[in-house]
């Protein structure tokens, strides 16, 4: 098979992908599917899986000509975009770890810096609004980096015609969230665009915090034997937003979990020495975080479906809609990787905090297979939990 044979497909990347595929593993190409095989099935399958592993490690490239909604979904397409475009343009050692916040040294002080934009629709939803989301999201990115969040900026992009009353409501909830998290909004920016060029109100916040925690933190620190915890039930925020849009005619008694986690995180770090990494499970949900950990640490992860806390309302709505709560966004939940020997201590520390009462140990880091997240299903089977390409629920935060 040569690239020419696929030339009938005007999408040029197909031909290119096939060429890359052929170059990648000439040795593995001697066998033709469907023809008699010298090797037994499982061995052949193993060879194919190895080939796929190599393909997945290949340098990411954006194949689409234009940005699609998938590029904003937090899954594979987002990751490819970040690595192929942004990382490629800005590459430097501080950016490269692609953690929730950059860790920079300023005059001997360790400072965490992060930014995030918020385009959630609807702007107001049960349990919160775009305002507290914008504060909590940035506070949480700092907190899980081991920093004490201090100062935030707030940039507003407003659509012509947006009610001032709504803006006042949003800023009031931002201020309340900032007070709860112990941070201040100290600088800002306002832009207005013509009607139809934005959807009401978009907010960008950036934040800095001081890193006082001495230990190394980062998903690349995870190693076999470590335990994985979540700080509470997952998927509340995503499902709340989806139901709040009212397109589905499903009602459930459920609110967003949007909250600052800096108190919870500080309490955990003060009680447990073996914390290796923390992430707030926003877009893409817990499954995406687990995949990022497995990739960064070149380790496997095994999670137990039965042990993952999910509210019945979230499970019910997800069942109906055919989505997996593992991929649904949370806005106040932390995934923690901790030394296996300290798993119970970490669980106790999380549960001692009001925001972590329903924390659970959901799995462990394994040596093999590297880069792959496996799930032991409640049914008793085993399967992979991969990154999603896109997201069934756009504009969740």
Partner 1 sequence: MRFVDEFRDSDKAHALAAKIAALCEPGREYKLMEVCGGHTHTIYKHGLEDYLPEQLTLVHGPGCPVCVIPMGRMDDAMALAAQPDVIMTSFGDMMRVPGSNGSFFDAKARGTDIRMVYSPLDSLKIARSNPDKRVVFMAIGFETTAPSTAMTILRAAAENLDNFSVFCNHVTIIPAIKAILDSPDLRLDGFIGPGHVSTVIGCRPYEFIARDYGKPVVVAGFEPLDILQSIYMLMQQLAEGRSEVENQYARVVPWDGNMVALRAIGETMELRPYFEWRGLGFISHSALSVREQYAKFDAERLFSVPGVRVADPKACQCGEVLKGVLKPWECKVFGTACTPETPIGTCMVSPEGACAAYYNYGRLTRTRVKEATRS
Contact positions vs partner 1 (CB under 8 A): 1, 5-6, 8-11, 13-14, 17-18, 20-21, 24, 32-34, 42, 44-46, 48-49, 51-52, 55, 63-70, 76-77, 80, 247-248, 300, 302, 312, 315-316, 319, 322, 366-369, 372, 374-384, 386, 389-390, 392
Q: How far is the CB of 68 from partner 1 (least distance, A)?
A: 5
Q: Specify the residue, 189 or 319, whose C-beta has the smaller distance to partner 1.
A: 319
Q: Specify the residue, 5 or 190, whose C-beta has the smaller distance to partner 1.
A: 5
Q: Specify the residue, 69 or 186, whose C-beta has the smaller distance to partner 1.
A: 69
Nearest to 114 by CA among 358, 316, 282: 282
- 131-170 burial string, b = 16+ CB within 10 Å, else e? bbbbbbbbbbbbbbbbbbbbebbbbbbbbeebeeebbebb
From CA 321, how far away is CA 305, in angstroms rounded?
19
Q: How far is the CB of 79 from partner 1 (least distance, A)?
A: 10
Q: Specify the residue, 45 or 212, whose C-beta has the smaller distance to partner 1.
A: 45
Q: How far is the CB of 377 from partner 1 (least distance, A)?
A: 5
Residues in CB range of 39: below 8 A, 6 or more apart: 31, 47
Nearest to 365 by CA among 336, 345, 326: 336
From CA 209, how far away is CA 115, in angstroms rounded?
12
From CA 248, how far away is CA 209, in angstroms rounded?
40
Q: Specify the residue, 55 or 94, whose C-beta has the smaller distance to partner 1.
A: 55
Q: How far is the CB of 389 from partner 1 (least distance, A)?
A: 5
**Long-range Cβ pairs for the range 5-8 (8 Å, 24+):** none
Q: How far is the CB of 122 from partner 1 (least distance, A)?
A: 17
Nearest to 376 by CA among 387, 366, 384: 384
Q: Specify the residue, 207 or 325, whose C-beta has the smaller distance to partner 1.
A: 325
Q: Which run of H or of E encompasses 266?
A: helix 262-271
Q: How far is the CB of 147 from partner 1 (least distance, A)?
A: 33
Q: How far is the CB of 17 from partner 1 (least distance, A)?
A: 4
Q: Specify the residue, 34 or 93, whose C-beta has the smaller distance to partner 1.
A: 34
Classify residue 196 by burial, with Cβ atoms within 10 Å: 0-12, 13-18, 19+. Answer: exposed
């Amino acid at each position: 098979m040569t690239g020419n044979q696929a030339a009938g497909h005007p999408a040029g990347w197909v031909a290119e992908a096939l060429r890359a595929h052929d170059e990648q593993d000439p040795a593995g190409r001697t066998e033709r599917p469907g023809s008699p095989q010298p090797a037994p099935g499982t061995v052949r399958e193993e060879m194919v899986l190895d080939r796929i592993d190599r393909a997945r490690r290949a340098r990411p490239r954006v194949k689409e000509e234009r940005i699609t909604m998938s590029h904003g979904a937090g899954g594979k397409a987002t990751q490819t975009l970040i690595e192929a475009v942004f990382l490629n343009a800005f590459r430097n050692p501080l950016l490269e770890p692609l953690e929730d916040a950059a860790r920079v040294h300023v005059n001997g002080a360790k400072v965490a810096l992060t930014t995030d934009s918020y385009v959630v629709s609807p702007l107001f939803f049960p349990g919160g609004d775009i305002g507290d989301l914008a504060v909590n999201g940035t506070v949480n990115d700092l907190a899980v980096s081991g920093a004490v969040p201090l100062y935030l900026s707030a940039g507003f992009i407003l659509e012509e015609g947006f009610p001032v009353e709504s803006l006042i409501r949003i800023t009031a909830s931002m201020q309340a969230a900032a007070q709860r998290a112990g941070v201040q909004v100290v600088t800002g920016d306002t832009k207005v665009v013509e009607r139809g060029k934005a959807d009401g109100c978009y907010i960008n916040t950036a934040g800095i915090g001081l890193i006082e925690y001495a230990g190394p933190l980062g998903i690349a620190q995870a190693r076999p034997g470590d335990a994985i915890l979540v700080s509470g039930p997952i998927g509340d925020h995503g499902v709340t937003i989806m139901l709040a849009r009212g397109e589905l005619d499903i009602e459930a008694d459920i609110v967003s979990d949007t909250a600052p986690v800096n108190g919870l995180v500080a309490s955990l770090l003060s009680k447990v020495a073996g914390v290796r990494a923390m992430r707030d499970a926003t877009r893409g949900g817990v499954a995406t975080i687990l995949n990022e950990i497995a990739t960064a640490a070149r380790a496997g992860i095994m999670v137990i479906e039965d042990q993952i806390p999910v509210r019945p309302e979230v499970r019910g709505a997800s069942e109906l809609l055919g989505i997996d709560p593992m991929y649904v966004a949370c806005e106040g939940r932390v995934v923690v990787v901790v030394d296996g020997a300290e798993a119970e201590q970490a669980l106790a520390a999380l549960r001692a905090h009001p925001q972590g009462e329903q924390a659970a140990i959901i799995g462990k880091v394994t040596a093999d297979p590297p880069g792959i997240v496996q799930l032991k299903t409640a049914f008793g089977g085993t399967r992979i939990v991969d990154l999603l390409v896109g997201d069934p629920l756009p504009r969740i935060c």
